[in-house]
Amino acid sequence: MKKITALFAALVLLLGLGTSALGAEETVTDPSGAEITVPEKVDAIVCLAPSLTEMVTALGHGEQIVGYDTNSVGLEGLDPDVPVFDLVEPDMEQLAALEADLVLVSNMSLYDQQSPFRQLADLGVCVACVPNSDSIQGIQDDIAFVAGLLDEEEAGETLVEDMQKELDRIAGIGEAIPEEDRKSVYFEISAAPYLYSFGTGVYMNEMIELIGAENILAGQEGWLSLEAETVVSADPDVILTNVNYIDDPVGEILARDGWDTVTAVAEEQVYYIDNMASSLPNQNIVTALEQMAQAVYPEYFAQ
């Protein structure tokens, strides 16, 4: 515990937040590389990314959220009666009227440091950008940064510690799976005809590796548009999907023309993974990780 506490404190210091970020107004560098002025006290927060909204609520500041993006609607701990904003093109006049102390955005809505949030910064609003991280370590760093902004270093440390315990537990089981039992996996995040997935350099690929499986696209890098033939020829043992915009994503995959020869389809090894838990880079990826582990290796991860 002492080691984790020391490491977390060091991380907060490296992120430029000090040991008590809100003791006085100060200038720090956010994860996007921009210098921002952190207010002495944060009473009103706007979150324009669901991943950040879940971080803020997990850190105990859901009641301070006075506005959030449409993708965050329905998340636990939010006031349903506050203003809701488009994630990509939020209404700046409406945002300014909220007089928030802190506006948290991701790279989904921050085009650059001048637009579209320059006018809010000119009004004295602290706009912090936390780009979607591509690694699990990056996600944990983001939790530390947001916790520092809210003067919640201890809560942030606990969040990261709990997350790491679950990662370590699953990784320990995954590492012990015999080589002959290891499976290949295709994880689909956009359904036919516009197939989309990922290779290395993405935290979801790390998750596949942690459970002891192999991503069929590990030879490529980043987020990927695919042809169906690529998946069929790779012949994955298991197919996972977090597609949530069609009624039956699993049934749609099982019924695809030309996919009947794929092992995962022939053996009906196709499973749905919670979309929000898997697609939002925050502490809740461990929920998706557990689902993935039980889907791919039920004999090793049975609860």
Beta strands 65-69; 35-38: pairing state: unpaired
In terms of C-beta density within 10 A (0-12 exposed, 13-18 middle, 19 or more buried), how is residue 260 classed? Answer: exposed
How many Å apart are CA 62 and CA 66, to the nearest integer?
A: 9
Q: What are 64's two structure tokens?
A: 């301070």
In terms of C-beta density within 10 A (0-12 exposed, 13-18 middle, 19 or more buried), how is residue 54 classed? Answer: buried
* pLDDT score of 295 more than 60: yes
Averaged over 266-286, what is the pLDDT? 98
Residue 67 · residue 95 · CB < 8 Å: yes
Long-range own/partner contacts, residues 217-225 (CB < 8 A, 24 or more apart): 217/186, 222/198, 223/196, 223/197, 223/198, 224/196, 224/197, 224/198, 224/199, 225/194, 225/195, 225/196
pLDDT in tens, 190-229: 999 999 999 999 999 999 999 999 999 999 999 999 999 9
Query: Domain locations in the chain?
Result: 2-158, 178-301
Q: So what's the pLDDT on residue 24?
A: 61
* pLDDT score of 2 more than 50: no
Q: So what's the pLDDT on residue 88?
A: 85
pLDDT in tens, 31-85: 999 899 999 899 999 999 999 999 999 999 999 999 999 999 999 999 999 999 9
Domain 178-301 has CATH 3.40.50.1980: yes
Residue 192 · residue 185 · CB < 8 Å: no
Q: So what's the pLDDT on residue 116?
A: 75
* pLDDT score of 286 more than 90: yes
Fold match between domain 2-158 and domain 178-301:
yes
Highest CATH level, class, for 2-158: alpha beta
pLDDT in tens, 107-125: 888 766 556 788 888 888 9
pTM: 0.89
How many Å apart are CA 94 and CA 90, to the nearest integer?
A: 8
pLDDT in tens, 235-256: 999 999 999 999 999 999 999 9
Q: So what's the pLDDT on residue 65?
A: 98
